[in-house]
Structure formats: C-alpha cells, structure tokens
Amino acid sequence: MTTTTSSVHAPAVRRLTAKGEATRARIVEAASALVFAHGVTRTGVEDVQREAGVSASQLYHYFGDKQTLMRAVIAHQTTAVLAAQQPELDALDTFEALERWRDRLVALQRSRHCVGGCPIGSIAAEIADDDPEARADLVAGFEQWEAPLRSGLTTMRERGLLADDADPDRLALALLAALQGGLLLTQTRRTTVPLETALDAVIELIRGYAA
Amino acid sequence: MTTTTSSVHAPAVRRLTAKGEATRARIVEAASALVFAHGVTRTGVEDVQREAGVSASQLYHYFGDKQTLMRAVIAHQTTAVLAAQQPELDALDTFEALERWRDRLVALQRSRHCVGGCPIGSIAAEIADDDPEARADLVAGFEQWEAPLRSGLTTMRERGLLADDADPDRLALALLAALQGGLLLTQTRRTTVPLETALDAVIELIRGYAA
C-alpha cells in the first residue's frame, strides 16, 4: 500500500525530514490498525505510543491531540481503502471491470474472515455525529470513493455501453450504499453473502441499462 | 412505541413484579437512548444509572453486567426499529406498500436531522467483532428485519405481481443492505439523498421483475 498524499488529510503544519515522515507514518499506521480492530473510542493514545514505539512527546510533536491523529487515520484509511480496490476502481468502464471490482471486494472480506467491516464506514458510524471535522473528512473520503464509480459509469454511457437514461450519479451512489450496507451485514453475519448480494443487485440494475 | 417481548433478548432470569418490570424498562430505555447518542463504549453504567434515576445496586439487580444490559438494549432497539416501520413493514406485498415503507424510512431520518444512523447497525459496526453474544443478537435482529421484507416479496410473487424468476431471498437481503448503507451515508452526509437513492435503486430492480 502506498502512503502518498491523499486529498483528505489534516493540514501539514510543518515540513518534516525523511526520518520525521517515517515516524509520523509509523504512528498513523499503528493508530489505523488499532482503530480498525477496536474502534476510535477504545484506541487510547497510550496504545498508539506502545504500538508505534514512540514516546508521548513524540506523538504530541506530530499530532497535538487525539482528534488530529484520528483525522490522519481517516486520511490514511481512505488512501488504503481506495488502493485495495485497484486497478479496477479507477477503470470501472466495462461490465467486466465492474464484476472484477466486485470480486476483489468479496475476496478481500473473505481474506479478513469478514472481520472489521469497512475501515472508513466503521469510523463514520462511530464518530460522524460527534466530531464535525472528522465528519467532513469522512464525507470527503466517501466522495473520493464515489467519484471513480461515477466516472466509470459515465464512460460506459459515453461509449454506448449504457443507455442515455442511465444516471451515473444515482447508480454510483447506489453502488456505494450497497457496498457499505453489504460490508456491515457481512461483518455482522460473518459471511460474504450480504456483500455479494448487495453488489450483485445494483450491478444487475446497471445491466438493465445496457444499450 | 410498545415494549412487548422481542424474540431477541437476554434470557429472563426471574419473574418481575409490575413495578420491577417498569424499573427494568426505564433502565433499558435510558441505556438505549445513551447508546444511540454516544455508542456502546462511551455509555458508562453510571450514565445509565443517572439517566434512569436508579442506584448502582438496582442496576446490578436487573443487569449483572454491562454486557447483559447491552444485549437488552439490542433487543429493545430491534423492537423499536421494527415498530417504527409499521404498518408497512409487516405488509410489504404491493409496490405501493414498498414505496410507503421507503417514504416512512426517509421521513424518519429527516425528523432526526439525519443524526444517529441505524440504532442496530451502529451497534453492529461498533461491537460485532468483539462480543460474540451481542453479535448473535444482532444477527437475529437483522433477521427479524429481513423476514418481513422476504415475506412481502414472496406474497407479491404468489399474487403474480412479481415474475416467477424474482428471488425474494436475494431481493430482501439487497433491500436490507441498501437500507443499512443508505442510513450510514445519510448519517455521514447529513442528507437523506443516499438513503433515498439506495432504496430507490433496489425498488427499481424489483419493479423490473413486475409480471
């Protein structure tokens, strides 16, 4: 997984040295793993220190408070979630690509034994109501996810694979919602059937618009 | 909202007097409201005591530990969630009923200003991975939700409103997943558009099976 800059991230307050960047990245990765496993509330900054092998003052140097660290986690997990869906996500412009993307998502859940759900969706369910800045980051993260879905469907319509009355905006949002609900039910039921069924339903709807 | 017995609940360990039942119900309602607002982890038993106006020993009398109380919350919220979808949910046997049900869900989120998401789904996202007994209750809760969807669609097929190749199991699960994902995105984006779009997509797919 690359850790290139994401468009959802806390503002960089200072230029970091290469070593500083590495330490910061180690903190964010440790925090992300803990949040994925235990949630935001149950992830203490002391846990992150221990897991990342940094001191309290180091952690404070990079992230002044837990909220700032959690925003970095959202940025990191958004990048990771999108990376895990490549190469399909950025080229969802054929029915075959849609099916490969669907298969990749299902295989990923299977490899995780259906544990954890969506790294972004879980954070959203937990803190969207309480932290307006985190909520804004989550909105942006979901938008980064929805944009390539919309873009792929738009290309399919432009190429004549989908009829003119297919609405890429609506279908992309329906796909993202199906994915989120499918992931939550897959996490709860510990089987990928809900994710498969949810995605297949919207893909079937999209196929109904085949030109 | 009625507080009749739900099929998802912690086993009754003793017969309660009417006054005991009322106290128990007050505790569960207070705990449910706190969990809906702040999540499971951030709801302390002291908060529940204060909100319900009961002592620590009273709380302990009815619920030996927080886990038992949380299972009662899941049972209570399952009953409440299903009740909030009536009368449509138990008679989803026409396209008109499906649309009224969809409208009711959207209106409910609007009345809540899109805050809170799904009372069961939020708990699932937070604790399904950590508490096997709670997860089993959540599985049962979702099943209680899915059953009337499946039943309504089965009736529609039997009545000839849906073609023989319409699969009520698959379509019901797709509806529930769309609902859960739509609720999560509605909570995050603070607009009912995701919920509307997600439900409308699956209802459109179901309409494609109209006989």
| CATH code of the domain containing B170 | 1.10.357.10
A128 touches B: beta carbon within 8 Å: yes
Q: CB within 8 A of B67, min separation 6: which ones? A: B131, B133, B134
A128, B121: Cβ pair inside 8 Å? Answer: no
The reply to whether A27 falls in a domain is: yes
Q: How far is CA A78 from the centre of its chain?
A: 4
Cα–Cα distance measured from residue B199 to residue B211, given in angstroms and rounded to the nearest whole number: 21
Instruction: Decide if A133 is inside a domain.
Output: yes
- Nearest neighbour of B181 by CB, restricted to A135, A182, A197: A182
- Whether chain A has a CB inside 8 Å of the CB on B34: the answer is no
Does residue B135 belong to the interface with chain A, where contact is any CB pair within 8 Å? Answer: yes
B2 domain-assigned:
no
Query: Are residues B171 and B100 both part of a single domain?
Result: yes
Q: Which of B73, B102, B137 is the last residue of a domain?
A: B73
How many angstroms separate the CA of residue A20 from the nearest CA in chain B?
A: 33
Q: Could you identify the residue written with the tokens 């989803």?
A: B92
Are both A38 and A128 inside the same structural domain? no
Q: Which of B199, B136, B36, B45 is nearest to A129 (CA)?
A: B36
Say whether B184 and A184 touch across the interface (CB within 8 A): yes
Q: What is the mean pLDDT of chain B?
A: 93
Residues A22-36: tens digit of each pLDDT: 999 999 999 999 999
Contacts of A166 in chain B (CB under 8 A): none
B146 and B177 assigned to the same domain? yes
A115-155 pLDDT, tens digit each: 999 999 999 999 999 999 999 999 999 999 999 999 999 99
Q: Do residue B188 and residue A124 have CB atoms under 8 angstroms apart?
A: yes
What is the rounded CA–CA span in Å between residue B153 and residue B171?
Answer: 8
A128 in the same domain as A30: no
pLDDT at B13 over 90: no
Residue B1 has pLDDT above 80, yes or no: no
Q: A–B: how many Cβ contacts below 8 A? A: 161
Q: Identify which of A142, A177, A190 has the shortest CB distance to residue B178.
A: A177
For B172, phi then psi, to 5°, come to -65, -45
User: What are A33-58's pLDDT values in tens digits?
Assistant: 999 999 999 999 999 999 999 999 99
Distance CA A187, CA A210 (A): 32
Tell whether A56 is covered by a domain. yes
Kindly determine whether residue A38 and residue B130, on different chains, have CB atoms separated by under 8 Å.
yes
Residue A72 above 90 pLDDT? yes
How many helices (H) and strands (E) are present in chain B, helices listed first? 9, 0
Same-domain status, B69 and B89: no
Best mutation target among A38, A109, A149, A173 (most B Cβ atoms within 10 Å) is: A173
Amino acid at residue number B101: W
Query: Which residues of B are less than 8 Å from A115 in CB distance?
Result: 129
- pLDDT attached to residue A2: 39
Token digits for B26? 């007050």
Q: What is the CATH number of the domain that holds A34?
A: 1.10.10
Shared domain check, B107 and B68: no
* Farthest-apart Cα atoms in chain A, separation: 60
Q: Do A193 and A116 share a domain, yes or no?
A: yes
Q: Tell whether ipTM is more than 0.85.
A: yes
| Residue A2 is assigned to a structural domain of this protein | no
Strand partners, B210: B162
Residue in the structure block whose two tokens are 């009536």: B86
- Asked, for residue A96, whether it belongs to a domain, the answer is yes
Given a contact cutoff of 8 angstroms between Cβ atoms, the answer to whether A77 and A32 are in contact is yes
Q: How many residues does chain A have?
A: 211
Considering only CB atoms, which chain B residues are within 8 Å of A124? 184, 187-188
Q: How far apart are CA B29 and CA B50, in angstroms?
A: 13
Decide if A128 is inside a domain.
Answer: yes
Which residues on adjacent β-strands are paired with residue B162? B210
Q: What is the pLDDT of residues B28-66, one digit of tens each?
A: 999 999 999 999 999 999 999 999 999 999 999 999 999
In angstroms, the CA B176 to CA B26 distance is: 30
Predicted confidence at residue A182, as pLDDT, reads 98
- Residue in B37, B41, B189 nearest the CB of A41: B41
Q: What is the model's pLDDT at position B8? A: 54
Residues of chain A in contact with residue B189, where contact means CB-CB under 8 angstroms, are 139, 142
Task: Give domain status of residue B188, yes or no.
Answer: yes
Looking at the fold, whether A122 and A170 belong to one and the same domain comes out as yes
Instruction: State whether A28 and A99 are in the same domain.
Output: no
Please check the confidence at residue A5 and state whether its pLDDT lies above 50.
no
Distance CA A116, CA A190 (A): 10
Quote the DSSP letter at residue A55.
-
Measured between alpha carbons, how far is A77 from A172 in angstroms, rounded to an integer? 21
Percent of chain B with pLDDT over 70: 93
Question: Is B177 within 8 Å of A193 when comparing Cβ atoms?
Answer: no
Q: Which residues in chain A are contacts of B78 at CB distance < 8 A? A: none
The angle at the Cα of A191, spanning A187 to A196, to the nearest 5 degrees, equals 95
Query: Is the domain of A121 the same as that of A145?
Result: yes
B115 contacts on A by Cβ (under 8 Å) = 129
Write down the pLDDT at residue A211. Answer: 86
Which positions in chain B touch A201 (Cβ < 8 Å)?
170-171, 174, 177-178, 201-202, 205
Residue A170 half-sphere exposure, CB side, CA atoms within 13 Å? 13
Asked which of A5-14, A102-111, B119-128 is least confident by mean pLDDT, the reply is: A5-14
Question: Residue B132 sits in which domain range?
Answer: 84-207
Task: Provide the terminal-to-terminal Cα distance of chain A, rounded to the nearest Å.
Answer: 37
What is chain B's length? 211
Contact between B188 and A126 using a beta-carbon 8 Å cutoff: no
Omega of the bond leading into A87 within 30 degrees of 0 (cis):
yes
Q: Please tell me if residue B159 touches chain A, with a CB cutoff of 8 Å.
A: no
Same domain? For A148 and A201 the reply is yes
* Each residue's pLDDT tens digit, B69-88: 999 999 999 999 999 999 99
| pLDDT above 70: residue B12 | no
Same domain (yes/no): B149, B172 = yes
- Domain count for chain A: 2
Q: Which residues, including other chains, have CB under 8 Å from residue B100's CB and lie 6 or more apart? A: B88
Distance of alpha carbon B153 from alpha carbon A163, whole angstroms:
28
Say if the Cβ atoms of B41 and A37 lie within 8 Å: no
Q: Higher model confidence: residue A60 or residue A13?
A: A60
